[in-house]
Amino acid sequence: MLSFILRRILLMVPTLFVVSVISFVIIEAPPGDFMDAYVDQLLQQQEAIDPAEIDSLRLRYGLDAPSYVRYFRWLGNILQGDLGRSLEWNQPVAKLITARLPWSLAISVASFLFAYALAIPIGLYSATRQYSIGDYVFTLIGFIGLATPNFLLALLILWYYFVATGNVAVGLFSEEFLVAPWSFARVIDLLKHLWLPAVVVGTAGTAGLIRVMRANLLDELERPYVMVARSKGLSEGKLLIKYPFRIAMNPVASTIGWTLPTLVNGELLASLVLGLPTIAPLFVGALLSQDMFLAGSVVMILSSLTLVGTLFSDIVLAWLDPRIRGAI
Amino acid sequence: MYSRKLSIHRGGTAHGARLARSVSKLVPLLIILSLLLAACGSGDAPAASDDAEPAAEEAAPAAEESSSSEAVTITGPVLTDPPAGAGEREVQSEVFNTPADAGGIDSYQDAPMLAEMVASGDLPPVEERLPINPIVIKPEEAVGKYGGALRKTVSGQRSMGEMGWWVIEPLTLHSPKGVIVPNVAEGWSWNDDHTQLTLNLRMGIKWSDGEPFTANDVLFWWEDIILNEELTPSPPTLLSRGGERAELAMIDDFTVQFTFAKPYALFPTYLGSWGGPRSGPTTSPKHYLTQFHPDYAENADIEGMMSEGSFDNWMDLFGQKNASINTDKPTLAAWVPTTVPPNQVEVYVRNPYFWKVDTAGNQLPYIDEIHEIRVADAEAALLKVIAGELDFVRGLGTANIPVLSENRESGNFRFAYANWMPNAYGNIMFNYTTEDEAKHQLYNDKNFRHALSVAINRDEIIKLIYKGGVFASQIAPLRGPPYHGEDELFQSWTQHDPDLANQILDDIGLTERDDDGFRLGPTGEELLLIISATTAWPSETPELMELVKGYWGEVGINATVTPEAGPLWGTRHYNGEHDVSARGGHFGGGPVHPTLNSNTFAMRGWQWAPDWASWLDTDGEQGAEPPEDVKRLRVLRDQILGEPDEDTRNALMREVFEIHMDNIWSIGLVVDDPKFGQLTHVNNRLRNVVTWSISGEWTPTIPAQWFINE
């Protein structure tokens, strides 16, 4: 078991290296560099530009060096634990990301709670009352949830919420708490605003989970042991929760491992629309402005989390099924 | 004696303010209570408004009397009349260089929050914080009241929104009426041939940390930032004249002197102009920045700070400390940043040492805090505007004007606009140095460009794409005096005349046609113009060019359109890879002097012919030699920079524009109407805002005089 885990961890090293090369190439692929994007942005804002200043900045940021030199400079820093400085925000990347990580996690956790809290009972209902009207309604809602991009959902909810209440649900705090220090009232205010992103981000996940839960439970319900339990007179509710439900939860639980990266970046487009202080808008901005260090770091962190999540799932599986341990 | 009287006043006012505040808190409570108790609420409503009226009455005399320590006690709105709409009122604000110019000021007052700090001994009294001669602002509408937070937006990707402009107090400033007036500099004088400028700094101005601002700070900017080759490898172009860098000397603690190799009469204008050297001289606090400069600080200390902030070199460290967003860096501006972006909201608080007052002697700014709320999504920002959750927002987009107008009442806001240099949309540029022989010959023939220009039906373009808000025109400078962008001159070759186009094209020898009816090139080969249209600014450029392609087809010119993303377009354009290209453009005017605009004077980065500009910049070492008319533009620019007489300068500018309109190096389609293009949303609770500004950045209108009328 230990050697299996070790082997898997060693395999992660070359994978991460390949990921770093690919992400660097992709981020560098568009023509121009950060300064070009910067100048373009200034021009659009109708600001005057002194080309002398641009040249000196390009020189200072080392953007004139060939790309492989810049790649190894970047990689070297990362190996020393230094993510570099964001060109756009003129701050250490590590500081930018850690400042926003709690918000990303809060929203992701809230949306997961929302998704699981909703999906599991609905899945249970749909499976036990297969092809009932309720099942069809939930299936329809589920598919709509799966098919609607969540930024669109965010815009729609924003608009209808505004029409209904006259408030704009952008951001995580109302006006009076925006700059206030932390207090109990501010936490309450946060909770009042957190539900919207949680619902928006969680909807797609909910729909998927309902389907998984329903299918697994339907499989289990046809097993002979269920019939035996019924024939022995076990009450339907007790039977359901105690046996098939627990087994049906297994696949649902094993997907948690893959969700590590989505915890950090799952709410990307919805965050942009809802103006949330998460990592996602920072990442999108960095990609647009070709802020190599920031964008590259976020990609590296996401890739690492994917690998760790996969490793975690593999370990759980290997622990459950000894045959897998020898396979890799 | 004098100060004791003041302090008594202050004690009284603080007490009164507290009382008034608690009363004002009670009023809504009472209303709610009475609403709950009474079966019908309408009977109680007049009672509530009775309460509010005395407050307004109190305010009015306070505004007139110069002793406005009572202004602090105002709890209701100062102004009860509805605010004027966009452009409805001539600019009323005035800037007086000294209190004497304003007719004298008896006493100075400050904001309650500062008065409290003075009372507790945390801050020197206001008289000691102000310079000897504070600038006096005659407010746009009325003497305002202190307090409140201004709510603005900042887009997802920028560290500062408008605050980026507002945090700069240059040596000279465009007044609300568009004239260059003293600001940090109290006055200046030229020698006879305009080669030496002596600037007298306003005595007694203090940085936001209380340290005095002196000529040493200006000298530090010059010697240790501009002249430091590591920090500034290539010094700003505008600090050179006749190819030689200016010299700066410190005469005494409050006098500095610029010396130029050639007359440079326009320099004081540049000191206060957007795009000019306006920020450096007054944003370089020597006492703070020397900690990060190796000429002053210990190398070990700098290295320590570098490794702490993971900086690669000291220049980056210095750059970060010298950035206007650095919360530790002292400033001369009305508000000081307190947050390091990006945050959900960026907060700026009042500078207790700000050196401007109103005509009643109240230290500005009125507004306590500026909140720049980060809204990444344009639709979300629009929604917040409609909901009345923002106070001042620029550039919401012409497309949104109908939605905004519809919600003007429910959202309780009005519009204002800026008379900014017009944006020219879809101006078409040619590659004058293309390697294709036939095209090279055609593009360099101005008759060919004239023909292509009159072939375009601009009126139809306006109807199909813009639905109003733009005019058919070549690229034009500011409308109205002194450049008259609305003049017929800028209508040259904008008439829709396909017959004339055909005739010109026939005359220059493009008479042979192919099987599809398209004209063949001069030597009988196929002629296809490839238009690269940017999708970035403006985003409708590809649509505009599709229409243009159709109009050109009608006169036998075959063209094709390829849309390109902004940065890609830029990179390819400046590398000379485009055949024909299209993007927005400007000619300058207004607070941006046209001489600062590279399009107008074929300067470095000339969008229309980068190769010609670089030939002129390098004395023929690089690029390609331009025609005589282009060289003439540079000669005229040189004359304008040195010309002290404004009328002569404007006559020279006229000649420049005539050369452009004869050559049409770039074909313009439409320019926008600033009333729409620069439409600004202003919440009705915000007062003292001019109804139209001379500048899109709104700094000349002095946001420090704005107040929250609640």
pLDDT tens across B162-187, in order? Answer: 888 899 999 999 888 888 999 999 99
| C-alpha distance from residue B588 to each of B424, B483, B680, B695 (Å) | 11, 9, 20, 11
Q: How far is B568 from chain A (nearest CA, A)?
A: 6
Comparing alpha-carbon positions, the chain B residue that sits nearest to A84 is B310
User: Which of A34, A60, A96, A182 to mutate to test binding with chain B, by most B CBs within 10 Å of its CB?
Assistant: A60
- CA A13 to chain centroid, in Å, comes to 23
In the predicted structure, residue B480 carries a pLDDT above the cut 90: no
Question: Using one digit for the tens of pLDDT, what is the confidence trace for A12-37?
Answer: 889 888 988 888 888 777 767 787 77
Question: Using one digit for the tens of pLDDT, what is the confidence trace for A67-104?
Answer: 888 888 888 888 888 888 888 888 888 888 888 888 88
Where is average pLDDT lowest: A260-264, B135-139, B447-451?
A260-264
Structure tokens belonging to residue B234: 């290539």
Residues of A with Cβ-Cβ distance to B275 under 8 angstroms = 47-50
Predicted confidence band of residue B678 (pLDDT cuts 50, 70, 90): confident
The pLDDT of residue A235 is 85
Comparing alpha-carbon positions, the chain A residue that sits nearest to B323 is A90
Closest partner CB to B536 (pick from A44, A47, A289): A44
The answer to whether the beta carbons of residues B265 and B196 sit under 8 Å apart is no
In the predicted structure, residue A49 carries a pLDDT above the cut 70: no
Structure tokens belonging to residue B659: 């050369």
The answer to whether the beta carbons of residues B418 and B91 sit under 8 Å apart is no
Q: Which of B68, B484, B373, B617 is nearest to A277 (CA)?
A: B373
In the predicted structure, residue B430 carries a pLDDT above the cut 90: yes
The answer to whether the beta carbons of residues B418 and B694 sit under 8 Å apart is yes
Q: How far is B453 from chain A (nearest CA, A)?
A: 25
Q: B267 has which bridge partners? A: none
User: Which of B154, B239, B310 to mutate to test binding with chain A, by most A CBs within 10 Å of its CB?
Assistant: B310
- CA A182 to chain centroid, in Å, comes to 26
User: Which of A33, A57, A157, A178 to mutate to test binding with chain B, by most B CBs within 10 Å of its CB?
Assistant: A178
DSSP string, B261-301: SS--TTHHHHHTSTTSS-SGGGS--HHHHGGG-TTTS-HHH
Q: What is the mean pLDDT of residues B666-673?
A: 93
DSSP string, A72-130: HHHHHHHHTT---EETTTTEEHHHHHHHHHHHHHHHHHHHHHHHHHHHHHHHHHHHHTT
In the predicted structure, residue B19 carries a pLDDT above the cut 50: no
Comparing alpha-carbon positions, the chain A residue that sits nearest to B411 is A166
Q: Which long-range contacts (CB under 8 A, 24 or more apart) does B56-65 make?
A: B56/B80, B59/B145, B62/B143, B62/B360, B63/B142, B63/B143, B63/B360, B65/B360
Q: Which residues contact A228 (CB under 8 A, 6 or more apart)?
A: none
The pLDDT of residue B690 is 94
The pLDDT of residue B500 is 97
Predicted confidence band of residue B623 (pLDDT cuts 50, 70, 90): confident
In the predicted structure, residue B68 carries a pLDDT above the cut 60: no
Predicted confidence band of residue B17 (pLDDT cuts 50, 70, 90): very low
The answer to whether the beta carbons of residues B108 and B130 sit under 8 Å apart is yes
Q: Which residues contact B150 (CB under 8 A, 6 or more apart)?
A: B367, B369, B370, B371, B391, B392, B686, B703, B706, B708
Q: How far is B575 from chain A (nearest CA, A)?
A: 11
Is the CB of A43 less than 8 angstroms away from the CB of B371? no
Is the CB of B275 less than 8 angstroms away from the CB of A155? no
Q: How far is B512 from chain A (nearest CA, A)?
A: 40
In the predicted structure, residue B448 carries a pLDDT above the cut 60: yes
Q: How far is B218 from chain A (nearest CA, A)?
A: 19
Residues of B with Cβ-Cβ distance to A51 under 8 angstroms = 237, 604-605
**Torsion of Cα atoms, A305 then A308 then A312 then A317, to 10°:** 110
CA quadruple B320, B321, B327, B330: dihedral positive or negative?
negative
Residues of B with Cβ-Cβ distance to A89 under 8 angstroms = 159, 341-342
Q: What is the mean pLDDT of residues B248-256?
A: 96
- B390-422 burial by CB neighbour count: b if 16+ within 10 A, else e? bbbbbbbebebbeebeebeeebebbbbbbbbbb
Comparing alpha-carbon positions, the chain B residue that sits nearest to A177 is B345
Q: Which of A128, A123, A131 is nearest to A230 (CA)?
A: A128
Where is average pLDDT lowest: A118-122, A290-294, B101-105, B428-432?
A290-294
* Tokens 């507004």 belong to residue: B367
Closest partner CB to B345 (pick from A37, A179, A289): A179
The DSSP H or E segment spanning B699 is none
Question: Using one digit for the tens of pLDDT, what is the confidence trace for B548-567?
Answer: 999 999 999 999 999 998 87
Q: Which of B210, B290, B202 is nearest to B253 (CA)?
A: B202
Q: What is the mean pLDDT of residues B579-587?
A: 91
In the predicted structure, residue B386 carries a pLDDT above the cut 60: yes
Question: Using one digit for the tens of pLDDT, what is the confidence trace for A190-237?
Answer: 888 888 888 887 877 788 888 888 888 888 888 898 888 888 888 888
Is the CB of A32 less than 8 angstroms away from the CB of B323? no
Closest partner CB to A51 (pick from B344, B565, B605): B605
Residues of B with Cβ-Cβ distance to A81 under 8 angstroms = none
Question: Using one digit for the tens of pLDDT, what is the confidence trace for B398-423?
Answer: 778 888 999 999 899 999 998 888 88
The pLDDT of residue A326 is 63
Half-sphere exposure of B444 (CA within 13 A, CB side): 18
Residues of B with Cβ-Cβ distance to A46 under 8 angstroms = 420, 423, 586, 696
In the predicted structure, residue A183 carries a pLDDT above the cut 90: no
Q: Which of B543, B654, B680 is nearest to B600 (CA)?
A: B654
Predicted confidence band of residue B658 (pLDDT cuts 50, 70, 90): very high
Spatial separation of the C-alpha atoms in residues B354 and B137, rounded to whole Å: 13
Q: Which residues contact A135 (CB under 8 A, 6 or more apart)?
A: A125, A126, A129
In the predicted structure, residue B9 carries a pLDDT above the cut 70: no
The pLDDT of residue B607 is 79
* Tokens 């994007």 belong to residue: A37
Predicted confidence band of residue B204 (pLDDT cuts 50, 70, 90): very high
Spatial separation of the C-alpha atoms in residues B154 and B325, rounded to whole Å: 13
3-state secondary structure of B394: strand
The one-letter code for the residue type at B245 is R
Q: What is the mean pLDDT of residues B62-82?
A: 61
Pairing of strands B369-374, B149-154: parallel
User: Which of A49, A91, A173 to mutate to test binding with chain B, by most B CBs within 10 Å of its CB?
Assistant: A91
The answer to whether the beta carbons of residues B562 and B556 sit under 8 Å apart is no
Q: What is the mean pLDDT of residues B478-488?
A: 88
Is the CB of B571 less than 8 angstroms away from the CB of A36? yes
Comparing alpha-carbon positions, the chain A residue that sits nearest to B226 is A53
Q: How far is B206 from chain A (nearest CA, A)?
A: 28
The pLDDT of residue A313 is 75
Residues of B with Cβ-Cβ distance to A60 under 8 angstroms = 233, 313, 315-316, 319
Pairing of strands B692-693, B413-418: parallel
Comparing alpha-carbon positions, the chain A residue that sits nearest to B606 is A51
* Tokens 């770091």 belong to residue: A297
Q: How far is B233 from chain A (nearest CA, A)?
A: 6
pTM of the model: 0.83
The answer to whether the beta carbons of residues B660 and B477 sit under 8 Å apart is no
A143-147, B619-623, B634-638, range with greatest mean pLDDT: B634-638
Residues of A with Cβ-Cβ distance to B423 under 8 angstroms = 46
Q: How far is B155 from chain A (nearest CA, A)?
A: 10
The length of chain A in residues reads 328
Q: What is the mean pLDDT of residues A136-151?
A: 84
Is the CB of A52 less than 8 angstroms away from the CB of B236? yes
Q: How far is B105 from chain A (nearest CA, A)?
A: 36
Spatial separation of the C-alpha atoms in residues A28 and A290, rounded to whole Å: 7
In the predicted structure, residue B234 carries a pLDDT above the cut 50: yes
In the predicted structure, residue B303 carries a pLDDT above the cut 70: yes
Q: What is the mean pLDDT of residues A119-123?
A: 88
**Burial group, residue B662, by CB count within 10 angstroms (0-12, 13-18, 19+):** middle
The pLDDT of residue B652 is 95
Pure H helices in B591-677: 598-601, 610-617, 628-642, 646-663, 674-677
Pure H helices in B38-104: 45-64
Is the CB of B375 less than 8 angstroms away from the CB of A170? yes
The answer to whether the beta carbons of residues A41 and A313 sit under 8 Å apart is no
Percentage of the residues of chain B whose pLDDT score is greater than 70:
89
* N-terminal to C-terminal alpha carbon distance within chain B: 35
Closest partner CB to B377 (pick from A32, A275, A285): A275
The length of chain B in residues reads 710
**How many inter-chain contacts (A to B, CB under 8 Å) are there?**
150
Is the CB of A52 less than 8 angstroms away from the CB of B379? no
| C-alpha distance from residue B139 to each of B5, B110, B358, B364 (Å) | 27, 16, 7, 11
Comparing alpha-carbon positions, the chain A residue that sits nearest to B422 is A46
Is the CB of B373 less than 8 angstroms away from the CB of A178? yes
* Tokens 């770039």 belong to residue: B666
- B620-641 burial by CB neighbour count: b if 16+ within 10 A, else e? eeebeebeeebeebbebbbebb
Residue B585: φ, ψ to 5°: -160, 170
Q: How far is A59 from chain B (nearest CA, A)?
A: 9
Is the CB of B233 less than 8 angstroms away from the CB of A167? no
Beta-strand runs (E) in chain A: 85-86, 91-92
Work out the number of other CB atoms within 10 angstroms of the CB of residue A160: 10
Percentage of the residues of chain A whose pLDDT score is greater than 70:
88
Is the CB of A85 less than 8 angstroms away from the CB of B316? yes
Comparing alpha-carbon positions, the chain A residue that sits nearest to B341 is A89
Question: Using one digit for the tens of pLDDT, what is the confidence trace for B518-543?
Answer: 999 988 899 999 999 998 888 899 99
Q: How far is A105 from chain B (nearest CA, A)?
A: 16
Is the CB of A50 less than 8 angstroms away from the CB of B384? no
Is the CB of A179 less than 8 angstroms away from the CB of B571? no
Residues of B with Cβ-Cβ distance to A31 under 8 angstroms = 567-568, 571-572
The answer to whether the beta carbons of residues B144 and B686 sit under 8 Å apart is no
Is the CB of A53 less than 8 angstroms away from the CB of B236? yes
| Mean of all residue pLDDT scores within chain B | 86
A66-70, A171-175, A302-306, B338-342, range with greatest mean pLDDT: B338-342
The answer to whether the beta carbons of residues B122 and B342 sit under 8 Å apart is no
φ/ψ bin of B526: left (φ > 0), alpha (ψ from -120 to 50), beta (otherwise): beta
Q: Which of B28, B111, B663 is nearest to B366 (CA)?
A: B111
Spatial separation of the C-alpha atoms in residues A272 and A282, rounded to whole Å: 9
- CA A161 to chain centroid, in Å, comes to 25
The answer to whether the beta carbons of residues A204 and A119 sit under 8 Å apart is no
Structure tokens belonging to residue A89: 């925000």
| Mean of all residue pLDDT scores within chain A | 81
For chain B, the maximum distance between any two Cα atoms, rounded to a whole number of angstroms, is: 98
Residues of B with Cβ-Cβ distance to A277 under 8 angstroms = 342-344, 374
Which is more confidently placed, B471 or A242?
B471
Comparing alpha-carbon positions, the chain B residue that sits nearest to A96 is B342
Which is more confidently placed, A172 or B98?
B98
A13-22, A216-225, B361-370, B576-585, range with greatest mean pLDDT: B361-370
The pLDDT of residue A3 is 82
Beta-strand runs (E) in B11-118: 94-96
Question: Using one digit for the tens of pLDDT, what is the confidence trace for B103-121?
Answer: 999 999 999 999 999 999 9
| C-alpha distance from residue B324 to each of A99, A165, B307, B333 (Å) | 21, 39, 22, 10
Is the CB of A32 less than 8 angstroms away from the CB of B586? no
Comparing alpha-carbon positions, the chain B residue that sits nearest to A152 is B379
The pLDDT of residue B231 is 87
